[in-house]
Amino acid sequence: MNKYELNNQAGVATMEEPPAQNELSGVNSEMDNIPPEDFIFAVEDEILSEERNKNNTNISYLTNYLEMIRNKKENFLTKIGNEKRRLLAKSFFEIEEMIVRGLIEDMVGSRSKEFKIEDSEWQQEIISFINKIKNNPEELKMFWDEYDALFDYEGDKKSANEYRAGIMAPLALQNLLQEKYGLKISYSEPKEDVECSVDMTAVDGQNKKFFLIQVKTDKELIEKIIKKDLRGESDKGNHKNEKELIKVIPRFEFGNENAGMNKDYLNFSKGCSRYVENNRKLFQDKGYDVKGVYIYVPYNIGGEKLIEINGAPSYKLWKILVAEHLETKLNLPNKFDYGSVL
Mean pLDDT per 10-residue interval, the chain, length 342 residues: 48 38 53 92 94 91 96 95 93 94 91 92 94 94 96 89 95 96 96 95 93 93 80 52 88 87 92 93 82 95 92 95 94 79 42
pLDDT at 111: 86
Taking each helix axis from N to C end, the angle separating 36-47 and 59-77, rounded to the nearest 10 degrees, works out to: 150
Question: What are the structural domain ranges in the chain?
Answer: 6-155, 182-340
Q: How many CB atoms lie within 10 A of CB 226?
A: 18
pLDDT at 199: 96
pTM of the predicted model, to two decimals? 0.86
> Which residue, among 221, 228, 178, 166, has the nearest Cα to 203 in the 3D structure?
178
pLDDT at 16: 37
Residues 6+ apart with CB under 8 A from 196: 188, 212, 271, 272, 274, 275, 278
Compute the radius of gyration of the chain from its Cα atoms.
21
Q: 20 with 142: CB under 8 angstroms?
A: no
pLDDT at 233: 58
> Which residue, among 233, 201, 238, 224, has the nearest Cα to 296 in the 3D structure?
224
Task: For residues 142 and 131, give the distance between their C-alpha atoms in angstroms, rounded to a whole number.
Answer: 15
Overall residue count recorded for the chain in this entry = 342
CA distances from 126 to 65, 95, 142, 303, 311 (A): 23, 11, 14, 24, 11
pLDDT at 225: 86
Residue 310 sits at the vertex; the CA angle it makes with 307 and 312, to the nearest 5 degrees, is 45
Q: Which helix (H) or strand (E) holds 230?
A: helix 219-230
Residues 6+ apart with CB under 8 A from 100: 52, 62, 65, 66, 69
pLDDT at 18: 39
Residues 6+ apart with CB under 8 A from 184: 8, 178, 202, 203, 204, 205
pLDDT at 81: 92
pLDDT at 21: 43
